[in-house]
Amino acid sequence: MKSSILSYALMAAGSCLAQGDIAALLKSQPDLSTLLELVSIVPGLADKLAGASNITIVAPTNDAFAKVPREIPEGEAIEQRNDTIAIGALLSNHVFKGVYPSDVITDTPTFGQTLLDDSFIIARQPFSNFTGGAYNGLVRNGKDVCILSGEQTISTVTEADIKLGEGITIHKIDTVLSFGAPLQLFTARSGYNAFNAAVEAAHLNIAFGLTGADDQGLNISDYTIFVPTDDAFKNIGSVLASANQSTLQEVLKYHIIPNNVIFSTALGNVTVPSLQGANLTFTVLPDGSAWVNNAKITFPNSILYNGIAHVIDNVIAPGPFDRASLKPSAPASERLAFPSASRVAELPFSSVSFGFDPMPYTTTPVLLKTIAAVPTGSASATTTPSGQPSPSPAAFPGAGVAVLPGMMVALSVTIGAAAVLL
């Protein structure tokens, strides 16, 4: 594997390097002996960690590593200690760019980027393909600090704020972070089969992160996608029955925002172009609910292999949308983007990619369902030379706060405390 997985942290630190011995620290913690052994497998990794600054390591305990399924690549690597690429990918996904002390984590999630990049590829799977590193979330759940990662995984911090020098913070966690799944694997495991089948039927010529020899098409990264529920598709089933493939392609492309990673906490009352070309209209109400056109975001921020998915309660249609026409109190069946549509029991497409995957999600944790957007107007964005806005200076250095061009950025007030600590 590439031995420079922590090069970003080293460069970002400049001349201000933390002084510490990561190996000695791990040796002093009996419940981190598995992590110590895995770190030692990667040549030079302990030294790079010890020399880095402005990073946060979330450290799985021995029990956490023991729970990783052995039939997946990272589980095999943990068990056999023989795949440095998989181990390197796994460990780099546990290192955040930026310092995240527990006392500034609130019930408004912060999504930060890690050191997991696209250099980690094995024959069975790639691990992540975000520009700048994979994303994970940090959020408070009651008294607990939790880390959100792919595959609907929630890890709870069991011991927080172990310091190594001035620039490294370590939190012990009870569950190993998961890699984000490719889009169609996520939809199959989550039970969003209508969307999955619609993507199959449309032949969009987009691979969505699948990298096998049989997977053709443009492999896009850094996208945001809106996934209607099965019920949403059934509510417009009569329209779908008569739609040709070109129409289906246009509708599905309208659910994709390319080259923009957008979490619910960064939404505001703005419009943004879709892959189809027509604008999407976003609305954030005072109660924190987030809407795209006439559809409510019911399950936000699913971290995929190379994008972010938000589940919505309606299929949206290309074309102008007047925010003033939104009726948030109306049920989804009365907010259809296709007014002439009628409900059907069976959809015209049924072929599901990964339909026989053996690892479906049995439940969706309540915490993931209840991460609301932040009402607009709490902070402003400035525009960089590239045309993209940058977060308020109160944001964590290295934190991944995705925003829309020209929008208001919603940040928790307590984040400001973190800047003082760095």
What tens digit of pLDDT does each residue of 116-130 get? 988 888 877 778 889
DSSP 156: E
pLDDT at 415 over 90: no
The pLDDT score that the predictor gives to residue 387 is 31
Does residue 141 contact residue 105 with C-beta atoms inside 8 Å? no
- In the structure, what pLDDT confidence band is assigned to residue 131 with cuts at 50, 70 and 90? very high
- The more confidently predicted of residues 329 and 9 is 329
Cα–Cα dist 159/61, whole Å: 10
Asked if 167 and 197 sit in the same domain, the reply is no
The pLDDT score that the predictor gives to residue 218 is 64
The CATH number of residue 44's host domain is: 2.30.180.10
What tens digit of pLDDT does each residue of 287-325 get? 889 999 999 999 999 999 999 999 999 999 999 999 999
> CA dist 313 to 254, 300, 366, Å?
15, 12, 17
Asked if 83 and 198 sit in the same domain, the reply is no
3-state class (DSSP) for residue 73: helix
The pLDDT score that the predictor gives to residue 233 is 97
Count of beta carbons in the 10 Å neighbourhood of residue 297: 22
The pLDDT score that the predictor gives to residue 372 is 66
The pLDDT score that the predictor gives to residue 255 is 98
What value does the mean pLDDT of the chain take? 81
What tens digit of pLDDT does each residue of 5-42 get? 444 333 333 323 334 578 888 899 999 999 999 998 87
Last residue of a domain, one of 121, 140, 173: 173
Strand pairing category for 135-141 and 110-113: antiparallel
Count of beta carbons in the 10 Å neighbourhood of residue 99: 23
Percent of the chain with pLDDT over 70: 80
Asked if 81 and 208 sit in the same domain, the reply is no
* Residue 358, in any domain of the structure: yes
183-190 vs 193-202: helix axis angle to the nearest 10? 140
Cα–Cα dist 416/396, whole Å: 8
3-state class (DSSP) for residue 32: helix
Q: Which residues form the domain of 189?
A: 183-369
Asked if 51 and 155 sit in the same domain, the reply is yes
What tens digit of pLDDT does each residue of 209-265 get? 555 545 555 667 899 999 999 999 999 999 999 999 999 999 999 999 999 999 999
Last residue of a domain, one of 120, 140, 173: 173
Q: In the chain, helix, strand, coil percent, each to 5?
A: 30, 20, 50
Asked if 154 and 189 sit in the same domain, the reply is no
Asked if 71 and 219 sit in the same domain, the reply is no
The pLDDT score that the predictor gives to residue 418 is 33
Asked if 122 and 67 sit in the same domain, the reply is yes
- How does DSSP assign 231-253, residue by residue? HHHHHTHHHHHH--HHHHHHHHH
Beta-carbon contacts of 330 under 8 Å, excluding residues fewer than 6 positions away, are none
Does residue 207 contact residue 214 with C-beta atoms inside 8 Å? no
* Residue 408, in any domain of the structure: no
The pLDDT score that the predictor gives to residue 5 is 41
* Residue 219, in any domain of the structure: yes
Cα–Cα dist 332/407, whole Å: 27
Asked if 117 and 200 sit in the same domain, the reply is no
Backbone angles phi, psi at 169, to 5 degrees: -115, 135
Does residue 311 contact residue 297 with C-beta atoms inside 8 Å? yes
Asked if 222 and 160 sit in the same domain, the reply is no
Percent of the chain with pLDDT over 90: 57
Asked if 208 and 235 sit in the same domain, the reply is yes
What torsion do the CA atoms of 64, 69, 75, 76 make, to the nearest 10 degrees? 140
Asked if 208 and 154 sit in the same domain, the reply is no
The pLDDT score that the predictor gives to residue 211 is 52
Cα–Cα dist 195/204, whole Å: 13
* Residue 75, in any domain of the structure: yes
Strand pairing category for 307-312 and 223-228: parallel
pLDDT at 43 over 80: no
What tens digit of pLDDT does each residue of 265-279 get? 999 999 999 999 999
> CA dist 370 to 208, 244, 298, 367, Å?
26, 37, 8, 5
Cα–Cα dist 404/266, whole Å: 8
Per DSSP (E only), the strands in 68-165 are 95-97, 110-113, 135-141, 144-149, 153-164
* Residue 70, in any domain of the structure: yes
Asked if 113 and 168 sit in the same domain, the reply is yes
The pLDDT score that the predictor gives to residue 382 is 28
pLDDT at 378 over 70: no
The pLDDT score that the predictor gives to residue 331 is 97
* Residue 283, in any domain of the structure: yes
* Residue 220, in any domain of the structure: yes
Domain count, the chain: 2
* Residue 411, in any domain of the structure: no
Cα–Cα dist 172/57, whole Å: 8
Last residue of a domain, one of 173, 205, 236: 173
Count of beta carbons in the 10 Å neighbourhood of residue 422: 15
